[in-house]
Structure 1
Amino acid sequence: MTYSTKQLADLAGVTPRTLRYYDKIGLLKTQRDPDNQYRVYTQAEVDRLQTIRFLQLFEMPLAQVKVLLDGPAENLTAALKQQRKRITAKRDQLSLLLTTLDQTLEKGVDTMTDDEKFAAFKDQSIKANEQQYGEEIRQQYGDDIVEASNKKFRDMSQAQVAQLTALQQEILDALKPLVGTTDFNTPEAKRVFKLHKQFLQMTWPSEQYSQKAHRGLAAMYVSDPRFSKYYEDGTGKAGAAETLNAIVRHYTR
């Protein structure tokens, strides 16, 4: 059985324009009716469209979908396993958040213990970080490392979290006067490096830190505008992420 563009669009719940666009970018190539040159979709295209729609549920970019569908089957399987890990992690986070919400509703906000409130704060911080940077960090270091890092943060005491927050500000304050400099053989530059290394050792699993991993993260500060913005906003100076990256590279050679 074959389908016209409109027939397949109605069947799949998309617009004819979407199908034409998929054809244009090579995501869903189709045959042409020799009599009128209209697009004709066979069962193979129907099956491929079904897979495309399925992968879009995971918010995959179309370019990534195309690479997966055109590549070896094991690549698609690996990508789906990765998505399963991410969904499982999100499910666990939502389950924990739901438990906290139930406790709040049962006891009332005013009667929650400080430990319960603090646990909720940490979970919210992890969730916000996942939403903003999770995809890039997981691609860089893998799900296991990220989950271990999240667990380490959850296990921190209030004093440790306060120390971590103060350390973040200390890094920004120490970095600010160095933005734009190219001389890193100074006590001030070395202090920035040591502070940043201390921050990573506090947040990463103990076995994760290495000079190579440190350089990789610092490079991401430059390549990802969201990380760059954090350091620019924190220091009030453009180029702060570039300076931090250069300092890290200097002391991890």
Structure 2
Amino acid sequence: MIYSITELAKLAGISTRTLRFYDKKELLTAQRNSDNNYRYYNEADVDRLQKIMFLRLFDLPLNQIRKILASSEMAQYHALNSQRQYIIAEQKRLTALLANLDQTLATMKGGSPMNNLDKFAAFKTKTIRNNELRYGKEIRDKYSDAIIDKSNQKFKSLAQTEITTLEKLTDQILSELKPLVGAKNLNQPAAKHLFDLHKKFLLITWPEDQYSSEAHIDLAIMYVSDPRFTRYYEEGTGKKGAAATLKDIIAYYA
């Protein structure tokens, strides 16, 4: 069956503007009618669009989707199966969030009070899921499933005061890193204090037996080898080279 751009947009529940954008990005290239130059799409295009929409569910970058779709059927299968796992994880998270909300509503009507850890459990699960989506493969390859699962379990058990401390530490690390970016002399109190802040953050989030100087340095190396970490620190400080400076400081003091 052949679809016009309007018909395909209606079928998929997206805008014609989105289809034109995909065409422009060579993600879903439309066929052209030789008589009027109108865009049209065949069944293969419909199947490709469905894959694109599944891969876009968790904001997978367009250039990565393009690479996946240009790869083998097996590679595409694995990519879509990964999205299936993400959907299952999201389903579990929403189920837990709904149960948490129901328990809160019941408490407000005179039911048994929730303990403080339970009040924030669903929100912590969301943070863990987001981290898994962004960095899960890399950190699991580097530290093993057992270590990451143990770290996630520790995060779930953190009290709200500890969560607040982590948020403050995150802001403070970026704030104190900014004036140090590009510094040649790392033997200075400001650099040592930044290292101490970063170590404090890890000691809160990592299991007690996980921290070591080597593990700390390995994590810092990932900050410069993985563009997502690099972008996080550069955007957080507004300065190029921020991740590299943090890596050098950690390597100097660890």
TM-score (norm 2): 0.68
- The aligned counterpart of 1:215 is 221
- The aligned counterpart of 1:150 is 152
Distance 1:179 1:129, change over 3 A: farther
5+ residue gaps, structure 2, are none
1:126-165 alignment to 2 at 5 Å?
A: 127=126, 135-138=133-136, 140-142=138-140, 144=145, 147-156=149-158, 161=162, 165=166
| Residues in 2 aligned to 1:49 and 1:101: alpha-carbon distance in whole angstroms | 36
Distance 1:19 1:185, change over 3 A: closer
| Residues in 1 aligned to 2:164 and 2:25: alpha-carbon distance in whole angstroms | 51
TM-score (norm 1): 0.68
Which amino acid letter does the alignment assign opposite residue 153 of structure 2?
K
| Residues in 2 aligned to 1:46 and 1:173: alpha-carbon distance in whole angstroms | 45
Greater Cα radius of gyration, structure 1 or 2: 1
- The question of whether the paired residues in 2 share the 8 Å contact of 1:93 and 1:127 is answered with yes
Distance 1:10 1:173, change over 3 A: closer
Q: Report the CA distance between 1:247 and its aligned residue.
A: 0.8
- The aligned counterpart of 1:57 is 57
| Residues in 2 aligned to 1:55 and 1:173: alpha-carbon distance in whole angstroms | 32
Which amino acid letter does the alignment assign opposite residue 92 of structure 2?
D
Q: Report the CA distance between 1:122 and its aligned residue.
A: 5.1
Which amino acid letter does the alignment assign opposite residue 169 of structure 2?
Q
| Residues in 2 aligned to 1:18 and 1:137: alpha-carbon distance in whole angstroms | 28
- The question of whether the paired residues in 1 share the 8 Å contact of 2:22 and 2:29 is answered with yes
| Residues in 2 aligned to 1:244 and 1:28: alpha-carbon distance in whole angstroms | 41
| Aligned residue pair count | 244
5+ residue gaps, structure 1, are none
Q: Provide the identity percentage.
A: 34
| Residues in 1 aligned to 2:201 and 2:170: alpha-carbon distance in whole angstroms | 11
**Residue by residue, what CA displacement relative to the aligned partner does 1:156-177 show, whole Å, maximum 9, x if unpaired?**
4678x38965993897599479
- The aligned counterpart of 2:85 is 85
Note the aligned Cα RMSD (angstroms).
Answer: 4.4
Question: Is the partner of 1:224 in helix, strand or coil?
Answer: helix
